[in-house]
Amino acid sequence: MRVRAQSLREFFLKQPAIVDIAQGRILPMTATEILIQAKNLTKKYDNFLAVDNIDFEVFKGECCGFLGPNGAGKTTTIRMIHCVSPLTNGQLSVAGMNVSASPREIKCMVGVAPQENNLDPDFTVLQNLVVYARYFDIPKSTALERADELLKFLQLQEKRDVIIDQLSTGMKRRLILARALINEPQILLLDEPTTGLDPQARHLIWDRIINLKKRGVTIILTTHYMDEAAELCDRTLVMDYGKIIEQGTPPDLIKKHVGDEVLEIDYNDETMATLRKTLPDTRLEVISDRIRVFTTQPHGIFENYLKNHPAKGATIRNANLEDVFLKLTGRGLRE
């Protein structure tokens, strides 16, 4: 997908080249410039510790995913990065600037798509973008140009003069993304950008996020969809109870925690006993009458097992990020 508008392209070309724009592919990250850095970052609300003494870095040009169950502290962390929530303790810097000392400078270079719809219902689609641009001191003519480009970029041109109430959920999400881009941010914070969307709308947003990433925008994303994280994120941080409990690239995390493959078999006591005996180094999990078998051993052991112990309805599938997530954060409901 190419951005048609001239000035958007120029803007993205201005971004320091970690990416090869001509080829649209990500170059190896040799220059790992730290853009966001947190040390002992802590946030306490009354008696609730939302973020508990965490350290992390986000590198320039990467898409970094914050994963975790509801209440893990993802949104709070995002809110501290864009300076709307003061820190209880620790340090947090964005582009070398302290969030407490330079909030305005940081907000100028950050685009935020919040979880909750906070589009201005008193205005049309276009007015939402133009009024928002005004808060950034963007001149009206520039704002109008950019708004038109962004409406094209997110396929909302036809809704330009429609009032917000008349937009579908998917359109609202796209408009929120457009609004987050109006100040041509170097850092984009996306808090659950595709929650509640149909597959078409999701894929459009994914496509645009990939597009922005290729153009050098640093992206921080929270999501509950593990396929989304696997698709978009160069690196993920898993949070739970206010702490970062694991981090790494999605393939590394999968390999480390759940191996390459997962074997699923219908549950019965006999199968369970056989599995325990034949595959002693595996982890077994029973979910709704199916046994899931995880291993970090190399390919082929499940095939061998099934050759010797044929079982009806048994499947071998690739391990995925969701397996990792559930292993790390458990199956208990959080809310």
For other proteins, the binding residues (CB under 8 A) are 45, 82, 84-86, 103-104, 107-108, 110, 112, 114, 116-123, 127, 131-132, 134-137, 183
Q: How far is the CB of 120 from other proteins (least distance, A)?
A: 6
Q: How far is the CB of 94 from other proteins (least distance, A)?
A: 13
Q: How far is the CB of 288 from other proteins (least distance, A)?
A: 39
**CA pair distance 34, 94, nearest whole angstrom:** 9
Nearest residue (CB) to other proteins, 132 versus 294: 132
**CA pair distance 260, 299, nearest whole angstrom:** 7
Q: How far is the CB of 330 from other proteins (least distance, A)?
A: 28
Strand, helix or coil for residue 237? strand
Count of beta carbons in the 10 Å neighbourhood of residue 315: 12
Backbone dihedral region for residue 329 (phi beyond 0: left; psi -120 to 50: alpha; all else: beta): alpha
Nearest residue (CB) to other proteins, 99 versus 112: 112
Q: 27 vs 57, 188, 221, CA distance in Å?
A: 20, 20, 21
- DSSP assignment of 121-134: TTSBHHHHHHHHHH
| Residue 16: both structure tokens together | 């320091």
Q: How far is the CB of 5 from other proteins (least distance, A)?
A: 22
**CA pair distance 27, 137, nearest whole angstrom:** 34
Nearest residue (CB) to other proteins, 105 versus 148: 105
Nearest residue (CB) to other proteins, 116 versus 281: 116
Pick from 199, 33, 207, 184: nearest CA to 110: 184
Q: Cβ(112)–Cβ(189) under 8 Å?
A: yes
**Triad 16, 74, 177: Cα angle to 5°:** 55
**CA pair distance 13, 7, nearest whole angstrom:** 10
Nearest residue (CB) to other proteins, 45 versus 227: 45
Q: How far is the CB of 143 from other proteins (least distance, A)?
A: 12
Q: How far is the CB of 216 from other proteins (least distance, A)?
A: 22
Nearest residue (CB) to other proteins, 68 versus 114: 114
Nearest residue (CB) to other proteins, 32 versus 117: 117
**CA pair distance 314, 141, nearest whole angstrom:** 62
